[in-house]
A and B are shown apart, each in its own frame.
Chain A
Amino acid sequence: MSEAVQFVHEQLTVKKELPKFKAGDNVTVNYKIVEGGKERIQSFRGDVVKIQGNGATASFTVRKISDGIGVERLFPFFSPNIDSIVLNKAGKVRRAKLYYLRERSGKSARIKEKRF
């Protein structure tokens, strides 16, 4: 990344304290939504499928099964709409992008928890 891009990133984005997480971890993302002029916080809980990009454009994708249907949502790390992120479980996975979860369902789509 060029120096200028980094400079602009530092000037224009607000630093936030977010927990460190990886692909395979189970997180809850609390994000703000505006509904009829009022702001409220909605949470999205699921497994992190991937983390992509760097700098101001970095984002991550969270996948959950909602009423038997897989739902994926992409969040930019530096979005001002992200209120907080809670790390629920660290997952034990062997790759950085968990696209294989999309073809699986039920028991085989589970991710083993990492025990220390």
Chain B
Amino acid sequence: MKGIIGKKIGMTSIFAADGKQTAVTIIEAGPNVVTQVKTKDSDGYGALQLAFSDKKEKHSTQAEINHFAKAQTSPKKFVKEFRNYSIEKTLGETITVDIFSEGEKVEVIGTTKGKGFQGVVKRHGFSGVGAQSHGQHDRQRAPGSIGNSSDASRVFKGMRMAGRMGGDRVKMKGLKVVKIFPEKNYILISGSVPGHNGSIVLIQK
């Protein structure tokens, strides 16, 4: 496992030499600082704790300031742990986009855009009633029956209904690294990734 914390910037498209257009997402990934090294002896499992994006000392608690001081770095906004990191790193070292190479397949984890309270047509892909005929006048996006009367006479658990949609943690697998700009810490990933522009994403392999 190797990974990095980044910020989604936005989308654009690039052209290959043969004229093929590819949609890409730009992610500002890193530099991340190693703020804790966990080993099997000390913690029971091996992991690297990475931190990304500076924040002011006046917005940090004393515990945070002391924790980051151990790695000789300023307080950071986001801290994430990656288990069984394949690259050997010590406390205070930085991780940049160079850990990935162009053409590599990666996974991207993010939080999807919140959609609010949504009905069954949008949330679960129900088809609704369709036409406004056969006596329908205001029920075109209704779910229909949710159960039987005498036998069961209850609604089964897990019945798909309207409710909050979006804002879930989602992992997208098999996305390709199209291009890396190490001097700007940008990484271009084919297709879309979860979340709005400016949201935090994890890129891992």
Docked pose: A81 CA to B19 CA in angstroms: 6
Which chain A residues lie closer than 8 Å to B15 at the CB level?
Answer: 12-13, 56, 76, 78-80
B188 lies within 8 A of chain A by Cβ: yes
Docked pose: A10 CA to B24 CA in angstroms: 15
Q: Which of A1-18 contact B (CB under 8 A)?
A: 2, 4-5, 7-9, 11-13
Min CB–CB distance B110 → chain A (angstroms): 17
B52 lies within 8 A of chain A by Cβ: no
Which chain A residues lie closer than 8 Å to B9 at the CB level?
Answer: 2, 4-5
Q: Interface readout for A9-50 with B: 1 if CB under 8 Å, 0 if not?
A: 101110000000000000000001010000000000000000
Residues A56 and B14 in contact in the complex (CB < 8 Å), given A4-B186, A5-B9, A11-B181: yes
Q: Which residue of chain B is the closest to A32 with respect to CB atoms?
A: B19
Q: Are A79 and B179 in contact (CB under 8 A)?
A: no
Q: Which of B1-42 contact A (CB under 8 A)?
A: 9-19, 21, 24, 26, 28
Interface size class of B (residues with CB under 8 A): 20 to 34
Number of interface residues of A (CB under 8 A): 19
Q: Are A8 and B19 in contact (CB under 8 A)?
A: no
A105 lies within 8 A of chain B by Cβ: no
Can you name 18 extra interface pairs (CB under 8 A) apart from A8-B186, A12-B14?
Answer: A2-B9, A2-B197, A4-B9, A4-B28, A4-B184, A5-B26, A8-B24, A8-B26, A8-B188, A12-B179, A13-B14, A13-B15, A34-B18, A56-B12, A56-B15, A76-B21, A79-B15, A80-B19
Which residues of A approach B to under 8 Å, CB–CB? Answer: 2, 4-5, 7-9, 11-13, 32, 34, 55-57, 76, 78-81
Which residues of B approach A to under 8 Å, CB–CB? Answer: 9-19, 21, 24, 26, 28, 179, 181, 184, 186, 188, 197
